[in-house]
Amino acid sequence: MADNDVRSKQGGARVRLPPPLVFVAAIVAGWLIPDLRLHGSHAARIAIGALLIAGGLSIGIGAIRLFRKTGQDAKPWTPSPELLLEGPYRFSRNPMYVGMTLFTLAAAALSGHGWIAVLAPFALAVVHYTAVLPEERYLTAKFGESYVLYKTRVRRYL
């Protein structure tokens, strides 16, 4: 695969959409689509939402801290000088996207807007094709066997 097929203008992965924007779009669209309300105890929805936010933030912030600790930029279209294999990356190759998905589901639970929950997996699917697969091609081209071996040990999401 040619180098220009996998690299962005900035030198990182050729990501077509900023992943956070995809999840924000799902939350906004789910909020605006009527007639699918989540029912049940308000207290239960708040508790579920709080747990999802806590999980999403702990995974996502752990990944961002690791990027900062190693001096890397978390934006996928910027170059990756080294593979991150510790912290949340021991369990997921994409902890930030897992965190964003959990945060989107938390928005559904807290707001009671069911369409947000329905759209969360679709947002992850869009990110999968527009960011995750291009990132994997980039990392394979850049790190070769090291990244291929990592992919055999750690799941893509969970």
Indicate the domain borders of the chain: 19-32+41-153
Find out whether 74 and 131 touch, Cβ atoms under 8 Å. no
Q: What's the pLDDT tens digit per position in 15-44? A: 999 999 999 999 999 999 988 988 889 999
The burial of 146, by beta-carbon neighbours within 10 Å (0-12 exposed, 13-18 middle, 19 or more buried), is given as middle
What mean pLDDT, rounded, does the chain reach?
Answer: 94
Which residue from 128, 131, 156, 13 is spatially nearest to 72, judged by alpha carbons? 13
Query: pLDDT digits over 103-120, tens only?
Result: 999 999 999 999 999 999
Largest CA distance in the chain: 54
- Counting residues of the chain whose pLDDT is more than 70, the rounded percentage is 97
> 27 with 145: CB under 8 angstroms?
no
Please write the tens of the pLDDT for every residue from 131-141.
999 999 999 99
Does the pLDDT at position 48 exceed 90? Answer: yes
pLDDT grade, residue 3 (50/70/90)? low
- Distance, in Å, from the CA atom of 49 to the CA atom of 63, rounded to the nearest integer, reads 21
Both tokens of residue 37?
A: 């309300």
Predicted model pTM: 0.93
Of 76, 92, 79, which Cα lies nearest the Cα of 142? 79
Please count the CA atoms within 13 angstroms of the CA of 106 that sit on its side-chain side.
17
C-alpha 23: how far from chain center? 9
The burial of 74, by beta-carbon neighbours within 10 Å (0-12 exposed, 13-18 middle, 19 or more buried), is given as: middle
Average pLDDT for residues 37-61, to the nearest whole number? 94
pLDDT the model gives residue 4: 57
Q: How confident is the model at residue 46 (pLDDT cuts 50, 70, 90)?
A: very high
Two tokens, residue 57: 């933030």
User: For residue 84, is pLDDT > 80?
Assistant: yes
